[in-house]
Structure 1
């Protein structure tokens, strides 16, 4: 079989596989299109806890024209399923690089996005997502396609009543706006949001409230989601985004009395400052420290705002004579990022924690074992702790973040 014929066959099979998978995954969801944002995230009434599973760097669709690529996606599904079965989280965060768009040779990259969220959706677990540097990167032509046989033509899926046959064809890819719209419109469990229309970049900048088990109006914690760029944007959190965070946090949590958790994909330059050297030593906690931090291109102000804001919960305690009240400041802010596949540590930085997730997907570089970061909030007495759940079921690197 010639090289061009082989490529044609592979791409045709990829298209058929994705269309079939998409039809299976969306059964039961098309008649429940979300019309209003879901906001009811509450601490469990019986458990008193709210548990978050963090899936980072899944890289679905990578090297889709090879045998290797689709196999990695299957293995990634297995990792997520294992974590979900062991932990049964109340919520899942997709922490960027959900897909490797620059490797996806079809126009509708959301089909791979649907594959990535399928283990969570199938279990009825709500989730939210932010974008990474690979999620809307333009398609990169593989070097081997420039060999003697030339770049292969694409065999488009056969048209039917549900699609024209052309929308899944081509090497155009999809941008953040389209990916987010597809996720929100087609999934009632998705809590992802576009962000303010007057904010640039506006996609995936939003905040969600975790409410008390006995009072839906009372906030136990806030989760902030920020787009750290990459792909079609520079790899930064812009000054406009930083100002949006400052105004929004001041509006809903003016005295910083409610703990705040922040999620974005590419680490800030502050991560490079606290990165442990030659292993991981206290007060940092983690298991792998196998590469240098690859930070954002520039610091535009978000870290200064976080340091000044760092959520402090005031607890009053009586001394032994029961006549003096003292104030105890308890640290309640953490930032979680992905991007670096060979790092999974948490380190303190001023009055907050900077944490990496764990490389979850089999797409992307690195041969380190896969897993996911778990974050658990306990309402009374309040605490935030985190650990890593591995693909083989093991647990390690537990750290109390409050």
Structure 2
């Protein structure tokens, strides 16, 4: 990355960090809490793909542009919370052992603004390194410069191709970042890293839940692309424990869409039932359906499921008594040349209302939809 761009990036981080007001609104138990008289707003960053082609000038430039997208959206929306919806990095393009360096860069626009966040994993976040065929051509590629163990940018001279596991990435995040609400368990699940629940409480009473947010690891990378039977059982037990009477609205997040998304997907254009702006590819669903959607369909408390993975889709469509929604491709890494942006989700308490729209990098908004009321 050119030196002047590095200095510009660092200056942005320092300036925003100095001006950021810490906006943590949490209960003593570590759950999220609404502000008095205000809606609770979340921004979803999907498919950032930091670290892609990290040995070239192109790759770091894309990461810098992705920082620009996130910074623009965060400054425009001023959210209470951020969800990183998977494929934060492209691990199969990262040649160093410590891929958390790139993970850390992806989180930095949110961190320096003092905004709490949570993460889940996608199919690229711990994928094994893929050797570029160009390296074996007659010309070959010059010796790559890899980030050193104690640096945030390229400058080291040695590369380690082992990669970084899901568990290592998650542990690094939650140990280093007090703003992170991510979790690395339970251990008895498979996939077993980013499966957890956050409670959003009212401003007046920390014990009064406004919504429950479930984060589920949909696999990929070192796992099959599925939500397993074990995860389904975990969700059933956890939801019965904390919401036995189905009175609290529930919102679900994972990365790879379920097969139900293929059933509701518009065919040639965004139809009257769905709300969105791009329909440029078919749904790339999980490898198999292990029962998660059937469980969700039986719970009237479930209002919406949010996923990433498909860069060329940003729609929300009704399914049974819930909505199935894609985020918006946020990062300049990854395939596709569609304009970048992020999905925004807003929760109002009395009466409960779940609303969403897309905020673009250029500041425009579109595709507003009421997902429940």
1:105 aligned residue (95, 106, 109): 95
Quote the offset at 1:40 in angstroms: 3.4
Q: Distance in 1 between matches of 2:164 and 2:237?
A: 31
**Corresponding residue for 1:185?**
175
Q: After superposition, where does 1:195-214 map in structure 2 within 5 Å?
A: 195-214=185-204
**Corresponding residue for 1:384?**
354
Asked whether the equivalents of residues 239 and 301 of structure 1 are also in contact (C-alpha less than 8 Å), the reply is yes
1:39 aligned residue (30, 42, 61): 30
SS of match in other structure, 1:401: strand
Q: Distance in 2 between matches of 1:149 and 1:107?
A: 26
Once the two structures are superposed, what CA deviation does each residue of 1:210-248 show, in whole Å capped at 9, x if it has no partner? 001100111100000000000000000001001100110
1:237 aligned residue (214, 227, 239): 227
**Corresponding residue for 1:301?**
291
Quote the offset at 1:169 in angstroms: 3.3
Matched, 1:92 2:82: yes
Q: Distance in 2 between matches of 1:60 and 1:157?
A: 13
Segments of 4+ in structure 1 off by > 3 A? 149-161, 165-169
Q: After superposition, where does 1:361-372 map in structure 2 within 5 Å?
A: 361-372=331-342
Structure 1 residues 157 and 98: CA distance shift in structure 2, 3 A: closer
Quote the offset at 1:149 in angstroms: 5.4
Quote the offset at 1:166 in angstroms: 9.2
Q: After superposition, where does 1:86-235 map in structure 2 within 5 Å?
A: 86-148=76-138, 169-235=159-225
**Corresponding residue for 1:321?**
none
Bigger radius of gyration: 1
TM normalised by structure 2 equals 0.89
Structure 1 residues 349 and 155: CA distance shift in structure 2, 3 A: closer
Quote the offset at 1:177 in angstroms: 0.5
Once the two structures are superposed, what CA deviation does each residue of 1:242-273 show, in whole Å capped at 9, x if it has no partner? 11001100100001110000000000000000
Quote the offset at 1:46 in angstroms: 3.1
Asked whether the equivalents of residues 274 and 347 of structure 1 are also in contact (C-alpha less than 8 Å), the reply is yes
Asked whether the equivalents of residues 145 and 157 of structure 2 are also in contact (C-alpha less than 8 Å), the reply is no
TM normalised by structure 1 equals 0.83
Q: Distance in 2 between matches of 1:158 and 1:74?
A: 19
Quote the offset at 1:297 in angstroms: 0.2
Q: Which consecutive unaligned segments of at least 5 residues does structure 1 have?
A: 1-9, 29-36, 312-331
Structure 1 residues 160 and 368: CA distance shift in structure 2, 3 A: closer
Q: Single out whichever of 124-133 and 167-176 deviates more from structure 2.
A: 167-176
Structure 1 residues 153 and 74: CA distance shift in structure 2, 3 A: closer
Q: Distance in 2 between matches of 1:39 and 1:167?
A: 41
Q: After superposition, where does 1:316-395 map in structure 2 within 5 Å?
A: 333-395=303-365
Asked whether the equivalents of residues 38 and 191 of structure 1 are also in contact (C-alpha less than 8 Å), the reply is no
Asked whether the equivalents of residues 266 and 295 of structure 1 are also in contact (C-alpha less than 8 Å), the reply is yes
Matched, 1:81 2:71: yes
SS of match in other structure, 1:204: coil
1:280 aligned residue (270, 273, 285): 270
Quote the offset at 1:159 in angstroms: 8.2
Q: Which consecutive unaligned segments of at least 5 residues does structure 2 have?
A: 19-27
Q: Distance in 1 between matches of 2:192 and 2:236?
A: 15
Q: Distance in 1 between matches of 2:259 and 2:43?
A: 25
Quote the offset at 1:151 in angstroms: 7.1
Asked whether the equivalents of residues 224 and 261 of structure 1 are also in contact (C-alpha less than 8 Å), the reply is yes
Q: Distance in 1 between matches of 2:87 and 2:144?
A: 25
Matched, 1:55 2:19: no
Structure 1 residues 206 and 106: CA distance shift in structure 2, 3 A: same
Q: Distance in 1 between matches of 2:111 and 2:323?
A: 30
Computed over aligned residues only, the root mean square deviation of the Cα atoms, in angstroms, reads 2.6
Q: Distance in 2 between matches of 1:75 and 1:157?
A: 19
Q: Distance in 2 between matches of 1:291 and 1:377?
A: 30
